Structure 1
């Protein structure tokens, strides 16, 4: 089968930043599905791993990344029970395994969902990783109760990004929250409004912007862009007994004492935790993706697809990475195989 990977961490402009190669089609066992990949999408995790996984030495075998996919089940392992050959599926995969930049991929069925019936392949490919991340942040980490928490405020940092785009929708449509998103460009501001944000504020002067809309403090903060850069501001604008969730990490220790007086909760969110550690509730991702598929099919949620690239080639993959690295992309970029 054809796969595209890299042996050395190189700038995307370099000729060998990605290379195409032939490898053996894998065989499923246990809970695995063998999926014929029809499309995938690119996330920040893709280019971050490409930039760092082989910085010091060249790999003997190309590393295949990619953690969003839509495809058709071609074969199943002996322990599978959720899917059968011919089923259409979507998933975000497992950070510890070979990725979706290949014609075929093995994936544990417990982190796989049914493809939404009413969405195209490209529209579906945009959704798995970001949906899981935003859903877990809101309903597994903060544990939003749509009735009890109705009307409470959530600040979505980087509202027009991949995760922010679905978080706005989930927070509004499923969480019944007052949604404040950050964006600064005209196109990204409109994108957030179209997705349902009640307010869009400029992140360059965040405190002043929040005061202007009458929300000088918020109940919840979802950081999808730069925890280290926002940390002190977040500590100021979070309400007492509020909750901050971040996916971005920090290059230096964070001063948690800033949250102490307000009894603020802080949580990390990593969509890969369940698959990396084979947690007891690993099936939760199967349930979330099926729920998201239903919400997409009934129109509660809409796909965050913004750019479609045609053809599974080194050139299209490079272009997708260039778009991600520019930090100017809105929504999601999908590659149709």
Structure 2
């Protein structure tokens, strides 16, 4: 089968930063599905792994990136129970295995959802990774409940990005929160408002911007940009007994002591935890994707695709990664095969 992979970690400007390769078509076993992929999308994790996973070495085995896909089930393993051949699916994959930038992929059915019927392949492929990340950070890490938390405030740092775009929608339309999102350019401000943000604030003067909206403190903060850069600001803005969560990791120790006097909480979110560690609740990702699929088909949630590139080619992925690395993309970029 045809695939786009890497054999070393190179800057995207290098000719061989991506390579077209031929691999054996995989066979599903156990709870695996074999999916014929129709579209994928790109996320920051893609270029971060491309830049770092093979740094300083050349691999004999091509590494296939890609952690978002939409396609059709072509074969099923002997222990599957959630899907049948012919089902249209979407999923975000498993970072410990080969990715989706290929004609076919085997994937654990427990992290796969039924594709929203109202979306195209490209629109559906734009959703899984960011949706799972946003859902987990809101409802599994912070444990927001529409019953007890409706009307409370949340600050979303990085509102116009892939995760921020769907987090705004889930926070507003599912949890019933008052949403403040950060953005600074006219086009990103407009995008955040389109997703449902009640207030859009400039991250360059975050504390004053938030307080100018009338909030001295906010109940919840989620960071999709840079934990270290925003830590002191988040510690200042979080409400006593509030909760902060981040997906971005930390290049330096996080000073949790800054939250002590407020008895505030902090959580990390990593969407690949369940698949990487085969947690007891791994099937929750299947249920989350199915729930969001229903919300999309009901018109409650909308897709966050903002650009589509055509073709399973080296050039397509170089284009997508170049745009993503600029840090100025709004919503998601998909590639159709």
Query: For the superposition of Structure 1 and Structure 2, which TM-score range results when normalised by the shorter chain?
Result: over 0.9
Cross-structure match for 2:262 = 262
The 3-state SS of whatever aligns with 2:220 is: strand
Q: Tell me the alpha carbon deviations over residues 276-335 of structure 1, each in whole angstroms, 9 at most, x when there is no partner.
A: 000000010000000000000010000000000011100001101011100000000000
Q: What is the CA–CA distance in structure 2 between the aligned matches of 1:90 and 1:165, rounded to whole Å?
A: 18
Cross-structure match for 1:111 = 111
Cross-structure match for 1:126 = 126
Q: Tell me the alpha carbon deviations over residues 211-267 of structure 1, each in whole angstroms, 9 at most, x when there is no partner.
A: 110012110001000000000111011001100110001111111100111111100
Within a 5 Å distance, the mapping from 1:45-60 to structure 2 comes to 45-60=45-60
Q: What is the CA–CA distance in structure 2 between the aligned matches of 1:122 and 1:26, rounded to whole Å?
A: 23
Cross-structure match for 1:28 = 28
Unaligned runs of 5+ in 2: none
Cross-structure match for 2:316 = 316
Cross-structure match for 2:5 = 5
Residue 283 of structure 2 corresponds to residue 283 of structure 1: yes
Q: Tell me the alpha carbon deviations over residues 5-63 of structure 1, each in whole angstroms, 9 at most, x when there is no partner.
A: 11111110110000001010000001100000000000000000000011121111111
Cross-structure match for 2:18 = 18
Q: What is the CA–CA distance in structure 2 between the aligned matches of 1:111 and 1:238, rounded to whole Å?
A: 33
Cross-structure match for 2:200 = 200
Q: What is the CA–CA distance in structure 2 between the aligned matches of 1:95 and 1:264, rounded to whole Å?
A: 31
The 3-state SS of whatever aligns with 1:15 is: coil
The 3-state SS of whatever aligns with 2:241 is: strand
Residue pair 2:221, 2:234 contacting (<8 A) in 1 also: yes
Q: What is the CA–CA distance in structure 2 between the aligned matches of 1:126 and 1:254, rounded to whole Å?
A: 31
Q: What is the CA–CA distance in structure 1 between the aligned matches of 2:245 and 2:121, rounded to whole Å?
A: 31
Cross-structure match for 1:331 = 331
Q: What is the CA–CA distance in structure 2 between the aligned matches of 1:152 and 1:231, rounded to whole Å?
A: 21
Residue 290 of structure 2 corresponds to residue 294 of structure 1: no
Q: What is the CA–CA distance in structure 2 between the aligned matches of 1:226 and 1:21, rounded to whole Å?
A: 35
Cross-structure match for 1:220 = 220
The count of corresponding residues between Structure 1 and Structure 2 is: 337
Cross-structure match for 1:233 = 233
The 3-state SS of whatever aligns with 1:30 is: coil
Within a 5 Å distance, the mapping from 1:136-285 to structure 2 comes to 136-285=136-285
Q: What is the CA–CA distance in structure 1 between the aligned matches of 2:325 and 2:237, rounded to whole Å?
A: 29
Q: What is the CA–CA distance in structure 1 between the aligned matches of 2:196 and 2:251, rounded to whole Å?
A: 33
Unaligned runs of 5+ in 1: none
Q: What is the CA–CA distance in structure 1 between the aligned matches of 2:78 and 2:42, rounded to whole Å?
A: 31
The 3-state SS of whatever aligns with 1:26 is: coil
The 3-state SS of whatever aligns with 1:147 is: helix
Q: What is the CA–CA distance in structure 2 between the aligned matches of 1:216 and 1:249, rounded to whole Å?
A: 27
The 3-state SS of whatever aligns with 1:225 is: coil
Q: Tell me the alpha carbon deviations over residues 54-89 of structure 1, each in whole angstroms, 9 at most, x when there is no partner.
A: 112111111101000000001010110000111000
The 3-state SS of whatever aligns with 1:245 is: strand
Cross-structure match for 1:70 = 70
Report the TM-score when normalising by structure 2.
Answer: 0.99
CA RMSD of aligned residues (A): 0.5
